[in-house]
Amino acid sequence: MLKQYFAKLWVRRRPTWQGVLAGVLAGAIGGLAGAGAKIVGELIDNPRNLGQVSPPLLFTEKVTGDTYPNLTEQNNIITGIHFTFSIFVGAIYGAAAEVFPIVTVGYGVGFGWVLQLCTHESSVPALGLDVPPWKMPLHEQTSETFTHALFGLAVEVVRRGVRKLLPAALRKGPDAAGPLSLRTA
C-alpha cells in the first residue's frame, strides 16, 4: 500500500484541460485559505521585530515612491499583497498538482518551504526588502519556517477539499479521487 502511494507521487499525469482548470481554481481558493492561515500564524508568532517594516510595504514604497505613515493604509497594503500573491501562487500550485503529484508531498508543507526559499530566502533579500537569511535573527527564521509550513498545509488541505466538491465535469481525468488517494482501481 505504501509502495503504491509513493509510486503515484512520481508519475507525471496527463490531465484534461478541465482537470488543470479545476486545479487552478481549487489552488486559488487554497491560496486564499493559506494566506489566512499564514496571517493567523504570524499573530501567534510574529516574525518582525517591533518597528521593522514588512517586505510587502517596502516593495510598495519602492514601486510607488510614496511612504504610507497611516497604520490602516499599511495594513491594507500588506494584506492586499499577501492575499493577491497567495491566490496567484495557490493557482500555480493547483495546476502543478494536477500534472506532478510530487508537489503535494507532505500535505503541502514542502510546497510552503519551497515558497519560503523562493521568497524570504532569496528574492526578497535580492530586491533589498529584507536582510539575507544568514543575517536574519533566529526568531525571524523559525517564524517564517513555521508560517510557510502552515501556509502550504492550508493550501493543500483546502485544494483537496475544493477539488472533490467541483462538478463532475471538472473532476474527470486522472485526479478525480484526489492526487494522493490510496484507493486502488
Report whether pLDDT(184) > 80.
no
Reported confidence tier of residue 170, pLDDT bands at 50, 70, 90 = low
- CA triplet 9, 14, 19: central angle to 5 degrees? 95
Residue 127 C-alpha cell reads as 530586491
Least trusted range by pLDDT, from 6-10, 66-70, 119-123: 6-10
- For residues 1 and 78, the model is more confident at 78
Reported confidence tier of residue 180, pLDDT bands at 50, 70, 90 = very low
Reported confidence tier of residue 57, pLDDT bands at 50, 70, 90 = confident
Q: Render 114-158 in DSSP notation, one character per residue.
A: HHHHHIIIIIHHHTTSS--GGGS-HHHHHHHHHHHHHHHHHHHHH
How are the residues of the chain apportioned to helix, strand and coil, as percentages rounded to the nearest 5?
75, 0, 25
Reported confidence tier of residue 11, pLDDT bands at 50, 70, 90 = low
User: Cα 153 from chain centroid?
Assistant: 8
176 inside domain: no
Domain that holds residue 101: 26-171
The residue type at 166: L
The overall average pLDDT reported for the chain is 84
137 inside domain: yes
Model pLDDT for residues 127-157, shown as the tens digit of each residue: 888 888 888 888 888 888 999 999 999 999 9
Q: How many domains in the chain?
A: 1
Q: Please give the average per-residue pLDDT across 168-180, as a whole number.
A: 52
136 inside domain: yes
Residues of the chain with pLDDT > 90, as a percent, come to: 41
18 inside domain: no
CA atoms 105, 107, 109, 115: torsion sign: positive
Report whether pLDDT(75) > 50.
yes
Model pLDDT for residues 14-51, shown as the tens digit of each residue: 778 888 899 999 999 999 999 999 999 988 877 777 66
Nearest to 114 by CA among 125, 103, 128: 103
82 inside domain: yes
> What's the pLDDT at 147?
93
113 inside domain: yes
10 inside domain: no
130 inside domain: yes
Report the C-alpha gap between 174 and 185 in whole angstroms: 11
Strand spans (E) along 88-152? none
Report whether pLDDT(163) > 70.
yes
> What's the pLDDT at 182?
42
